[in-house]
C-alpha cells in the first residue's frame, strides 16, 4: 500500500506557514508499516489541486489531503476531490446540524458559509472524529490499472489543516483504515528515548556496534528493533526504537528489551521516554525529594520559567522565576557583586539570590551572551549555568551545594537561548540524581 500526502494551501508555498502536517503524517505512515514515496504542496487553486490529486492517484494507492476544508471560498479540497471522482457535492443534513450545534455550544454566531463544510462528494463518507467544525472525508474510487486496464480500488482522505484536528482524525480513523485496506495484521510500534549531553554523531558512534548487531539479526529473520536518530533542538536528541511483531504484546517485549540494551550503552544521557521532557523529569525529581525550585534567568528572558509552567502540576514545586535581564537587577535584587555578569561567579550569585529571594530549597541560574554581538568581550554562545541545592525545607536558608559551568552553545540567538534552557535543567537533573 503506497500512500501519498498532499498539503493544500497557498500559505505553505509562500512560506507563511511551515508544513509540519506532512512531516507528522509521513512519520505515522512509516510507523504503521505503510510506504510513502511522495509529498506535494499545492496552492488554493481548484484545477491545480485536482491535477495534483490525479497525479498522486496515478502512482499511489491512497492519498491523504490536508488543508482546504474550511468555510471560505479558497477552501477548495472538497470540490477538487469531487472533480477527481467525477461526482457532484451533496449536503449532509446530519453534518450541518453538528456544525450548527458546535457554534451554539460555544455561544458564537455562525455565519452561513460554515455550512459549506457539511458538503461531501457523492459516495464519500465523513470521518467519525470531528474535533473542529470541518469534518474529514473518506472518498473511495477506482482507477484503471496501467498494465491490465482493470479497475483498481483507491481512496482519498481529506483532513483539516489545523494540526491537532488533523492528528486526531489520522490517528483515530485514517491509519487503521489504511492498514485494513492494505491487509496489514502485524503490529508496529516505536519508543523514543530522550537524550541530552551528546551530539548526534556521538550517539551514533556509541550505538554503532548495536545497530550492526540488529542488522545481522534482521537479516537472519530474528525479531529485532531498528534504531534511528532525530535532532530536536532545545528538546534534546531522540533515539527512536521501532519494532514489528505479530501482536502488540510481542512488539512491547522487543521494545522493552531493546530499551534496556540502549540505556546500558548510553547511561545517564537518557533522561526520559516518549513524551517526557527535561522540565517534566526535573520537576518529578524535585517532587520526589520534597524540594522547591526558584530560577534566576538573564539571556533566556523567562523561557526557563515558561517551560516549567507548561508542565501540569508544576506549582507544587516551582515557586517562580526572576528575569534579571538588566545588570542592575542582578546587582540590586539578586545580590550579584557589581562587575562582569557573564561569568560563573555571577551565575552562582544569581542561583543563591534566586534561592534566597524566592525562599526555595533549590536555586538555578543562567547568564550569558545570546548574540549576535559580543558582550563583555565574550563571544556569542557563551553561557554560564549554576545550581544551588540546599536541604529539603531549607527555604533559601543554610548551607547548600553550589556548582557552575561555562559552555559554548551553537546557533543563532533563538537557538542559544533554547539550548541554554535544557542545558540548565540538565545540570540540575544531574545533581538531583546524586541526592
Interval 7-18 mean pLDDT:
95
Rounded CA Rg of the chain: 27
Residue 364 confidence (pLDDT) = 98
- Return d(Cα 36, Cα 25) in angstroms, integer: 10
- Return d(Cα 217, Cα 244) in angstroms, integer: 13
Residue 348: name the closest of 358, 336, 360, 331 by CA.
Answer: 336
- Return d(Cα 236, Cα 230) in angstroms, integer: 9
State the pLDDT confidence band at 232, using cuts at 50, 70 and 90. Answer: confident
Higher pLDDT, 223 or 342: 342
Q: What's the CA angle centered on 72, arms 67 and 74, to 5 degrees?
A: 60
Residue 340 confidence (pLDDT) = 94
Strand segments, DSSP code E, in 167-323 are: 187-195, 226-231, 237-245, 270-273, 293-297, 318-323
Contact 168, 131 (CB under 8 A): yes
246-279 pLDDT, tens digit per residue, is 888 999 999 999 999 999 999 999 999 999 999 9
**Domains, the chain, with CATH or none:** 3-182 (3.40.980.10), 187-273 (3.30.70.2860), 278-432 (3.90.950.20)
Interval 408-431 mean pLDDT:
94
Residue 42 confidence (pLDDT) = 97
Residue 124 confidence (pLDDT) = 96
Interval 7-30 mean pLDDT:
94
Residue 119 confidence (pLDDT) = 93
Residue 186 confidence (pLDDT) = 80
Phi then psi dihedrals of residue 139, to 5 deg: -125, 95
Contact 269, 197 (CB under 8 A): yes
State the pLDDT confidence band at 328, using cuts at 50, 70 and 90. Answer: very high
Interval 136-151 mean pLDDT:
91
Residue 185 confidence (pLDDT) = 79
CB within 8 A of 196, min separation 6: which ones?
236, 237, 269, 271, 278, 422, 423, 426
Residue 238, beta-bridge partner list: 194, 230
161-202 pLDDT, tens digit per residue, is 999 999 999 999 999 999 999 998 788 889 999 999 998 899
Residue 184 confidence (pLDDT) = 85
Residue 376 confidence (pLDDT) = 86
Interval 2-17 mean pLDDT:
96
Residue 163 confidence (pLDDT) = 94
Interval 330-345 mean pLDDT:
95
CA torsion angle for 113, 118, 120, 126 (degrees, to 10)?
Answer: 150
State the pLDDT confidence band at 403, using cuts at 50, 70 and 90. Answer: very high
Q: Model-level pTM greater than 0.85?
A: no
Helix axis angle for 413-432 and 278-288, nearest 10°, is: 30
Residue 221 confidence (pLDDT) = 85
Residue 189: name the closest of 265, 115, 120, 249 by CA.
Answer: 249
Residue 56 confidence (pLDDT) = 97
Asked if the model's pLDDT at residue 110 lies above 90, the reply is: no
CB within 8 A of 344, min separation 6: which ones?
384, 386, 404, 405, 406
Contact 71, 116 (CB under 8 A): yes
DSSP-based three-state secondary structure for 25: helix
Residue 153: name the closest of 67, 85, 65, 83 by CA.
Answer: 85
Residue 58 confidence (pLDDT) = 94
Amino acid at each position: 500500500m503506497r500512500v501519498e500526502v498532499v498539503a493544500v494551501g497557498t500559505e505553505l508555498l509562500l512560506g507563511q506557514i511551515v508544513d509540519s502536517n506532512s512531516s507528522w503524517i509521513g512519520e505515522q505512515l512509516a510507523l504503521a508499516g505503510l510506504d510513502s514515496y511522495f509529498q506535494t504542496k499545492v496552492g488554493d487553486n481548484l484545477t491545480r489541486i485536482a491535477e495534483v490529486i490525479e497525479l498522486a492517484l496515478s502512482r499511489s494507492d491512497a492519498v491523504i489531503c490536508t488543508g482546504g476544508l474550511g468555510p471560505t471560498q479558497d477552501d477548495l479540497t472538497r470540490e477538487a476531490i469531487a472533480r477527481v471522482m467525477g461526482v457532484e457535492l451533496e449536503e449532509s443534513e446530519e453534518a450541518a446540524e453538528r456544525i450548527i450545534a458546535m457554534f451554539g455550544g460555544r455561544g458564537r454566531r455562525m455565519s452561513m458559509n460554515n455550512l459549506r463544510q457539511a458538503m461531501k462528494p457523492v459516495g464519500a463518507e465523513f470521518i467519525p472524529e470531528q474535533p473542529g467544525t470541518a469534518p474529514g472525508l473518506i472518498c473511495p474510487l477506482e482507477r484503471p490499472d496501467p498494465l491490465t486496464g482493470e479497475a483498481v480500488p483507491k481512496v482519498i482522505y481529506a483532513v483539516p489543516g489545523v494540526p491537532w484536528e488533523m492528528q486526531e482524525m489520522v490517528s483515530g480513523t485514517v491509519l487503521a483504515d489504511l492498514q485494513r485496506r492494505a491487509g496489514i495484521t502485524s503490529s508496529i510500534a516505536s519508543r523514543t528515548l530522550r537524550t541530552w549531553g551528546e551530539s548526534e554523531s556521538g550517539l551514533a558512534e556509541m550505538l554503532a556496534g548495536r545497530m550492526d548487531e540488529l542488522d545481522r539479526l534482521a537479516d537472519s529473520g530474528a525479531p529485532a528493533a531498528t534504531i534511528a536518530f532525530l535532532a530536536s533542538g532545545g528538546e534534546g536528541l531522540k533515539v527512536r526504537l521501532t519494532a514489528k511483531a505479530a501482536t502488540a504484546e510481542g512488539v512491547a517485549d522487543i521494545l522493552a528489551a531493546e530499551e534496556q540494551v540502549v540505556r546500558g550503552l548510553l547511561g545517564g544521557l537518557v533522561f526520559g521516554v516518549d513524551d517526557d521532557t527535561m522540565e517534566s523529569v526535573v520537576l518529578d525529581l524535585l517532587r520526589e525529594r520534597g524540594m522547591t525550585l526558584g530560577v534566576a534567568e538573564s539571556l533566556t528572558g523567562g523561557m526557563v520559567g515558561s517551560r516549567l509552567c507548561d508542565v501540569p502540576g508544576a506549582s507544587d514545586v516551582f515557586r517562580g522565576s526572576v528575569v534579571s535581564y538588566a545588570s542592575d537587577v542582578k546587582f540590586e535584587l539578586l545580590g550579584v557583586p557589581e562587575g562582569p555578569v557573564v561569568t560563573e561567579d555571577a551565575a552562582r550569585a544569581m542561583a543563591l539570590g534566586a534561592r534566597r529571594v524566592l525562599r526555595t530549597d533549590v536555586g538555578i541560574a543562567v547568564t550569558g551572551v545570546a548574540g549576535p554581538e559580543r558582550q563583555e568581550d565574550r563571544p556569542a554562545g557563551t553561557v554560564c549555568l549554576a545550581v544551588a541545592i540546599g536541604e529539603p525545607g531549607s527555604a533559601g536558608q543554610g548551607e547548600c551545594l553550589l556548582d557552575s559551568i561555562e559552555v559554548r552553545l551553537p546557533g543563532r540567538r533563538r537557538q542559544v537561548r533554547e539550548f541554554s534552557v535544557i542545558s540548565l535543567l540538565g545540570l540540575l537533573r544531574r545533581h538531583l540524581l546524586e541526592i
